[in-house]
Amino acid sequence: MIDGLIQRLRVRDDVSDEEEEALRGLISETEEFPARVTVLRREKLLDRSVLLLEGLMCRSKDLPDGQRQITALHVPGDFLDLHGFTLKRLDHDVMSLAPSKVAYAPHDRLIRLTEQYPHLTRLLWLTTNLDAAMHREWVLSLGQRSGAQRSAALFCEIHTRLSVVGKAINRRFEFPLNQTELGECLGLTVVHTNRVLRELREIGLVTFRRGGVQIHDLEALETFAEFDPAYLYLEKLSR
Amino acid sequence: MIDGLIQRLRVRDDVSDEEEEALRGLISETEEFPARVTVLRREKLLDRSVLLLEGLMCRSKDLPDGQRQITALHVPGDFLDLHGFTLKRLDHDVMSLAPSKVAYAPHDRLIRLTEQYPHLTRLLWLTTNLDAAMHREWVLSLGQRSGAQRSAALFCEIHTRLSVVGKAINRRFEFPLNQTELGECLGLTVVHTNRVLRELREIGLVTFRRGGVQIHDLEALETFAEFDPAYLYLEKLSR
DNA sequence: CGCTCAGTTGACCGAATTCAATGCCAGTGG
DNA sequence: CCACTGGCATTGAATTCGGTCAACTGAGCG
């Protein structure tokens, strides 16, 4: 059930059978959500963290004048708010972008885990640091890449992350955002997002259609985006 | 010596005397750097983490075509690469912006700490999650705020963070970036950075001069920037 | 004095936004 | 079956924000 998480961790380090059991013991219950509902609201005090099992979710922040920015996308196997375990409240909302299934990890169980499994604690800590690494890449993207490059880089990132959990096949993956939401990831208006998508389609790199993404030429897309997956830390090291 | 760090932690949670001792025991040695040198280079494998004691540093990423983005600024009391404790290598460079002093925390000592002090481990984990929260605010800024707002928001953030460690007095603080570097934080060119700074100065909000920042009207600046310090987590909670 | 480096300004250009209209379904109720 | 609706996607035209190029200033310094 939490295989996605274990898969993601085993890409980066060894996880013993005992540790795997401890991880399974974290989960208290599961819940399902339809697409486009707010799953976690900022400021509320937290006593559990949420692991995404199936579907797609995002975190978003907004400004008083109503502008919204999506700060992260989450695929199955990702914790949505493990940072909330230490922060105790969120600085952003979490919303489902597709029908999704989650599992809850109560904070008291996480505290016990930090007391009994230091190595596993470091691995969970690692996953929040991966989130931060992705944030930094988005900062780079928003600060320095053009709209089209930004879009291409995002498709490369999601393609790589979904591949790790076996959900990208033949350079195709489910990606049920609409163009407004994609624009909120990229810091672009819908109108310009639409133009950028047309450009990427017309030069034969990638086609985005509501529901999914088909990459036509992965190598060319990565070159165009100046994409380097180093920030996703896909290598196995003792942590 | 590591008082800045302890000050920052005690804003967010209680730190016992024993834990304070354990933190002091982390440090093996210190080192000083002049301004504008690369302190850590991306990709190198790490066996220690670096705590900033005095000065100012930044993390930066760049694209193959030479464009550079500063992804974070660090003030005294910040770890520069505690995320490197679990990631084992960095995805960015770390550079000094002012003459600085650092202390080293070898990873084997950090591992021992995670085995003996779970609560303190959670507090150190917290600090990396604070970094991620700041990254998210920068994503919001770069995606949705105008150049001038972005600049104002950055000044608000640094003012608040320096206040915590007693380094902002009377709405004035040292900030020895040049306009090129400030532009690399904001995703703007030097030329436009210059114009934005003039605008902020002329409407009486804030004056940036190489070396320091003087805020003229803090409340107006925060309103202009749509700044809300919630993402800095300045409240004390049991973690 | 001439050099360099940072800051500043103007003229022009291009990327992205804004505003507005149109097209395209899928669903739904008559 | 068709008319009507609402949500997205798409396109055009005008505008603006920020970038590019280039020149100039001023301070510090050997």
More confident: A170 or B1:
A170
pLDDT of A210 strictly over 80? no
Give the distance, in angstroms, between residue B125 CA and nucleotide C26 C1': 48
pLDDT of B210 strictly over 80? no
Domains of chain B, residue spans: 3-137, 147-232
Q: What's the mean pLDDT in A197-210?
A: 93
Chain A residue closest to B107 (CA)?
A239
- One-character DSSP codes across A72-95: EEE-TT-BSSTHHHHHSB-SSEEE
B31: distance to nearest CA of chain A, Å?
26
- Regarding the domain delimited by B147-232, which CATH topology (the fold level of the hierarchy) does it fall under? Jelly Rolls (2.60.120)
pLDDT band, residue B201 (cuts 50/70/90): very high
Give B193's strand partners: none
**Which tens digit of pLDDT belongs to each residue from A124-163?**
999 999 999 999 999 999 999 999 999 999 999 999 999 9
Residue A136, token pair as written in the block:
């930094």
- Regarding the domain delimited by A138-232, which CATH topology (the fold level of the hierarchy) does it fall under? Jelly Rolls (2.60.120)
Helices (H), ranges, chain A? 3-12, 17-24, 83-87, 107-116, 118-144, 147-164, 179-186, 190-202, 218-225
**What is the per-residue pLDDT for A107?**
98
Positive or negative, the Cα torsion across A59, A9, B58, A141? negative
pLDDT of A211 strictly over 90? no
**Which tens digit of pLDDT belongs to each residue from A43-96?**
999 999 999 999 999 999 999 988 999 999 999 999 999 999 999 999 999 999
Instruction: Please state whether strand D lies within 7 Å of residue B178 at its CB atom.
Output: no
Q: For residue B147, which amino acid is it?
A: G
pLDDT band, residue B211 (cuts 50/70/90): confident
Give B50's strand partners: B104
Could you give the CA distance from residue B192 to residue B185 in angstroms, rounded to a whole number? Answer: 13
Q: Which long-range contacts (CB under 8 A, 24 or more apart) does B212-215 make?
A: B212/B172, B212/B173, B212/B174, B212/B175, B212/B176, B213/B155, B213/B158, B213/B159, B213/B172, B213/B173, B213/B175, B214/B171, B214/B172, B215/B155, B215/B159, B215/B171, B215/B172
Q: What's the mean pLDDT in A35-49?
A: 95
Q: What's the mean pLDDT in B146-160?
A: 97
Mean pLDDT of chain B: 96
Domain A3-135: CATH superfamily is Jelly Rolls (2.60.120.10)
Considering the domain delimited by B3-137, tell me its CATH architecture: Sandwich (2.60)
- Residue A139 to residue B142, Cβ atoms within 8 A: yes
Say which of A83, A118, A144 has its CB closest to residue B67.
A144
Instruction: Please state whether strand D lies within 7 Å of residue A37 at its CB atom.
Output: no
B48: distance to nearest CA of chain A, Å?
12
> Dihedrals φ, ψ of B34, to 5°?
-75, 175
- One-character DSSP codes across chain B: --HHHHHHHHHHS---HHHHHHHHTT--EEEEE-SS-EEE-TT-B-SEEEEEEES-EEEEEE-TTS-EEEEEEE-TT-BSSTHHHHHSB-SSEEEESSSEEEEEEEHHHHHHHHHH-HHHHHHHHHHHHHHHHHHHHHHHHHHHS-HHHHHHHHHHHHHHHHHHTT--BTTEEEE---HHHHHHHHT--HHHHHHHHHHHHHTTSEEEETEEEEES-HHHHHHHHT--GGGG--S----
- Residue B187 to residue A143, Cβ atoms within 8 A: yes
Q: What's the mean pLDDT in A105-112?
A: 98
**What is the per-residue pLDDT for A163?**
96
Residues of B in contact with A131 (CB under 8 A): 132
Mean pLDDT of chain A: 96
Burial of B18 (0-12, 13-18, 19+ CB in 10 A): exposed
**What is the per-residue pLDDT for A72?**
98
Percent of residues, chain B, with pLDDT higher than 90: 97
Residues B71 and B59 sit within 8 Å (Cβ to Cβ): yes
Q: Which residue is nearest to nucleotide C5 (CA to C1')?
A: B178
- Same fold for the domain at A3-135 and the one at A138-232? yes
Size of interface A-B (CB pairs under 8 A): 156
**What is the per-residue pLDDT for A65?**
87
- One-character DSSP codes across A173-192: EEE---HHHHHHHHT--HHH
pLDDT of A187 strictly over 80? yes
**Which tens digit of pLDDT belongs to each residue from B98-117?**
999 999 999 999 999 999 99
Residues of B in contact with A192 (CB under 8 A): none
